[in-house]
Structure 1
Amino acid sequence: MEQLDEIDKKILRLLQEDAKLTTKELAAQLGLTLSPVYERIKRLEGIGFIKQYVAVLDKNLLGQPITTFCQVSMRYHDKAFINKFEEEIKKLAEVQECYHMAGQVDFLLKIHVGSLDEYHNFVKYKLSEIENIGTLNSTFVLKEIKRNLGYPVH
């Protein structure tokens, strides 16, 4: 992995806080001119430290206030079933995140929907249609205490 200097790290921290910062604004905060800041950002994008720029939306204003974590255990664990599950999950818009896990649960899904009825329909008509699911265990978020979209940059 390529080593980052303190300026690179500061750029990453600043962009995680506000991806809309312009190169000019970044340069002013870093005490540098535009050209080296622009080149550093391009390099950080090129080597993969910066994967994308996104807008973080309000799930409540979008009508999706219900957050559910769904633990999925498979009946059979052969490669074909796992690959098929992963392909099918990627198609479901309600699934915001999916992780293949080690331990008692095979997959952990983070799902956003508008209501418990919507979640019921999602499970009944979409999730349960995926072949080889053994058990589902759903837990519902009562209150979001901490949500950090960034990573620590040391």
Structure 2
Amino acid sequence: MTINKEKVKLDDIDLQILRNLQVNGRMTNAKLAAKVGLSAPPMLERVKKLERSGIIKGYRAILDAKLLEQDFFVFVALNLNVSELANVAQFELKLAAMEEVMECHHIAGDIDFLLKVNVKDQEDYKQFVIENLAKIDGINRIHSWVVLSTVKDSTELCIDDSKKNK
């Protein structure tokens, strides 16, 4: 899929489409059209336009980690020793390749990288650190915070009407 990097013009209907698809990405074209007040053919064309532009990046199932017995989450902060780190891009590729790493953010402040890691349990996390993180050159310090409970977990962006293109 080719992504159009130019700024996409969004109107009220586009924003309604995005809000609805965030809540239910499997909503039929007909139901989505009815919700936003269009007929099915123009609705489908608008969705395709949003997909081509890259605003809609894809569709996926959201799994229940607890039911899959994969509900041990850890936030991991990495401090780097940049003098030992030859190539930040290579470092990032190594982190991105680890299936346990759900999110990887290069951030500003006292911490260089913040990861969201998912494993089965504490023992699996220990093995992840020993067998994966500790083997990457350039990491000076690893800080870990085990998630005790999750109050909110959302993939939905806050789509503000004032942000639409005029």
Q: Same fold (TM over 0.5)?
A: yes
Aligned-residue offset at 1:80: 3.6
Superposed CA RMSD in Å reads: 1.4
Matched, 1:68 2:78: no
Aligned-residue offset at 1:131: 1.0
Is the 2:85–2:137 Cα contact (8 Å) retained in structure 1? Answer: no
TM-score by structure 1 length? 0.95
Q: For this pair of structures, how many residues does the alignment match?
A: 154
Q: Give the match for residue 90 of structure 1.
A: 96
1:55-96 deviations in Å (ceiling 9; x for gaps): 110111222111100000111168743122111111111000
Is the 1:81–1:132 Cα contact (8 Å) retained in structure 2? Answer: no
Q: Runs of 5+ in structure 1 lacking a partner?
A: none
Q: Give the match for residue 37 of structure 1.
A: 43
Identity %: 38
SS in 1 for 2:103: strand
TM-score by structure 2 length? 0.88
Q: Distance in 1 between matches of 2:84 and 2:143?
A: 21
Is the 1:94–1:112 Cα contact (8 Å) retained in structure 2? Answer: yes
In 2 relative to 1, CA 78–125 (structure 1 residues): closer, same or farther, beyond 3 Å? closer
1:108-132 deviations in Å (ceiling 9; x for gaps): 0000111101000100111111111
Q: Runs of 5+ in structure 2 lacking a partner?
A: 1-6, 161-166
Is the 1:68–1:139 Cα contact (8 Å) retained in structure 2? Answer: yes
Q: Distance in 1 between matches of 2:11 and 2:144?
A: 43
